Structure 1
């Protein structure tokens, strides 16, 4: 692990879901905290981290109480449910935050569940963690050691990470230090959040680093709604840019928004942004009769699809300049397309269809 100054957030005294803001840092105090209360702190932390190196970003997020917000209080986190991460991840999407934030939040909680002590490094910012979303390694166990073989992929920022979570063929997962691993850049369109392929050939790790199958399944489901939150931030940001351009760009003596067709397009974009908010809320709703897993799959699919619709229409509103490198719109689109790949949108759509058809036939 790279040596870094320890963050003061590691020993934050917290009571379950009882937090307050101290400056830009979240700490414990009251039961009245709502998920939206994290938005301001997240935006400030992200804005302060934009020019920092990867290791320094991890330290800053830890100091602001964000890195360990989902991890248990015993591990030094805040012990919050994943819905509290939604405004944080939306702020990251809005700001095009080039850091594996989804992976950091979920890895800290999963590592805490395995009890190896690795979670502390992620929570304090001493360890940069990522997750390989593609593939699963073959595992052979002998005593307190396990041997991994295979190739895993879709690991964002694996070249700068200290630790990567890898799925295993038995349904479990394991935390693997990246030092000495064969890590190669994989093809992708998101240059700010590059994904990597990792070749695991006879890699030996301690069995204490195993993540139970139930914890890994929970992580995969929560990753879906986390990606939906990023899509919300991307879509809201692009809608704001499209509205500003349509209201300030003058053509033939009047603003673009004076045209009815333009107003209709902006209205449809706004409806899609609100749809993303609604499906994310539905993903956490206990009133819905469908299973939590199905709700989160549907939330992810709807959010990413609506997000792409909004971003593509924002590019259209800007005309020719919308396609240029100077405009950030294509960067949002690249991220959303990458999230589609990481979440296996095509395969997930078939799963949701099978679930719905099966429940209707029952």
Structure 2
């Protein structure tokens, strides 16, 4: 880039991304990818030689948060990270341009022969899978069997992948994959937090305009208390995510697991209470808060449905 990174503000990227994300939602899956790519979103962290902007993960975070807030059903965070990991290869350029779409299997390994929890896998071209030896492999989805699992989300199901005949297009070594896993934790937290932020904003507006017995619902003390608690959890998640972008007091990289498990729990609480305060309307397509809640629950399931919190607790106990 010709402009120094320190002249750019990450929050401005989120504001600019909102219009492109809203536009993408009016198109089909493939056309959405082109809209997002033309806006520069898929290549925000990719190498310049691949057509990207070569910016840090802090610039992708507000973009992904906007995707969560607007309930985008497209693997934007996965495509951003895979394009970054592929450096200046032609494969990265295809992702940046929108010609290809990548997802990420959060469970399973190539060595085991199966993988799961890959968002939008049937519509994608490639999937990143752990290889079982610390690294990862980029697999051609056309070479594997994909089975949808609608248990958590009938409209946008997760997928299980049979990898017996997988065609590997590229590989990542253990060091690169470890760094990439840290960044996917940050962006997943950003997506979940963005989804909850959107729900909280919608709820606060509804409570202020819905009048019963001559006054808005937001005038009721019980409603105010609940909205205040939702805001508190959102602020805590925001602070935790931002804190990960800087080193700790010893100059070391901060662990992402405590923040990720807390953010997923906070987002689920905020979304559930948003649906509650809307009187259950969050389960209707007129106000599809359930779409955001399902997305958060799918990520929680991908990390073991509480297993991440338990492991974080065990790690803390062993460290003291």
Native 8 Å contact 1:182 1:200 kept in 2 = yes
**What is the CA–CA distance in structure 2 between the aligned matches of 1:317 and 1:334, rounded to whole Å?**
18
5 Å-filtered alignment, 1:33-48, equals 33-48=8-23
Residue 66 of structure 1 aligns to a residue in which SS? coil
1:276 equivalent to 2:237? Answer: yes
Native 8 Å contact 1:257 1:263 kept in 2 = yes
| Partner of residue 120 from structure 1, selected from 78, 83, 93 | 93
Q: Deviations over 1:188-209 (max 9, x none)?
A: 4234542211111243435xx1
Native 8 Å contact 1:246 1:257 kept in 2 = yes
**What is the CA–CA distance in structure 2 between the aligned matches of 1:225 and 1:329, rounded to whole Å?**
22
What count of residue pairs does the alignment treat as equivalent?
Answer: 320
Q: Tell me how far 1:180 sits from its aligned partner.
A: 3.5
Native 8 Å contact 1:301 1:345 kept in 2 = no
Instruction: Evaluate the alpha carbon distance shift between residue 321 and residue 53 of structure 1 in structure 2; reply closer, same or farther with a 3 A threshold.
Output: closer
The equivalent of 2:142 in structure 1 is: 179
- What is the TM-score when the length of structure 1 is the normalising length? 0.83
| Partner of residue 232 from structure 1, selected from 171, 183, 193 | 193
Native 8 Å contact 1:235 1:311 kept in 2 = yes
In angstroms, what is the RMSD of aligned CA positions? 1.9
5 Å-filtered alignment, 1:127-146, equals 127-138=100-111
**What is the CA–CA distance in structure 2 between the aligned matches of 1:351 and 1:30, rounded to whole Å?**
36
The equivalent of 2:123 in structure 1 is: 160
The equivalent of 1:321 in structure 2 is: 281
Q: Tell me how far 1:116 sits from its aligned partner.
A: 4.8
Residue 214 of structure 1 aligns to a residue in which SS? helix
The equivalent of 1:3 in structure 2 is: none
Native 8 Å contact 1:136 1:167 kept in 2 = yes
Q: Tell me how far 1:266 sits from its aligned partner.
A: 0.9
1:56 equivalent to 2:56? Answer: no
Q: Tell me how far 1:30 sits from its aligned partner.
A: 6.1
Native 8 Å contact 2:18 2:67 kept in 1 = yes
Unaligned runs of 5+ in 1: 1-13, 19-28, 139-148
Q: Tell me how far 1:96 sits from its aligned partner.
A: 0.4
The equivalent of 2:306 in structure 1 is: 346
Q: Tell me how far 1:89 sits from its aligned partner.
A: 0.7
Residue 127 of structure 2 aligns to a residue in which SS? strand
Native 8 Å contact 1:188 1:338 kept in 2 = no
Residue 118 of structure 1 aligns to a residue in which SS? helix
- What is the TM-score when the length of structure 2 is the normalising length? 0.93
Q: Tell me how far 1:356 sits from its aligned partner.
A: 1.8
Native 8 Å contact 2:143 2:166 kept in 1 = no
**What is the CA–CA distance in structure 2 between the aligned matches of 1:283 and 1:359, rounded to whole Å?**
19
Residue 65 of structure 1 aligns to a residue in which SS? coil
Q: Deviations over 1:27-70 (max 9, x none)?
A: xx663111101012210110111121222222222211111111
Q: Tell me how far 1:78 sits from its aligned partner.
A: 1.2
Q: Tell me how far 1:150 sits from its aligned partner.
A: 0.8
1:200 equivalent to 2:167? Answer: no
**What is the CA–CA distance in structure 2 between the aligned matches of 1:359 and 1:289, rounded to whole Å?**
16
Q: Deviations over 1:219-245 (max 9, x none)?
A: 111111111111221111111121122
The equivalent of 1:22 in structure 2 is: none
Native 8 Å contact 2:150 2:156 kept in 1 = no
Unaligned runs of 5+ in 2: none
Instruction: Evaluate the alpha carbon distance shift between residue 322 and residue 64 of structure 1 in structure 2; reply closer, same or farther with a 3 A threshold.
Output: closer
**What is the CA–CA distance in structure 2 between the aligned matches of 1:154 and 1:86, rounded to whole Å?**
21
Q: Tell me how far 1:326 sits from its aligned partner.
A: 2.8
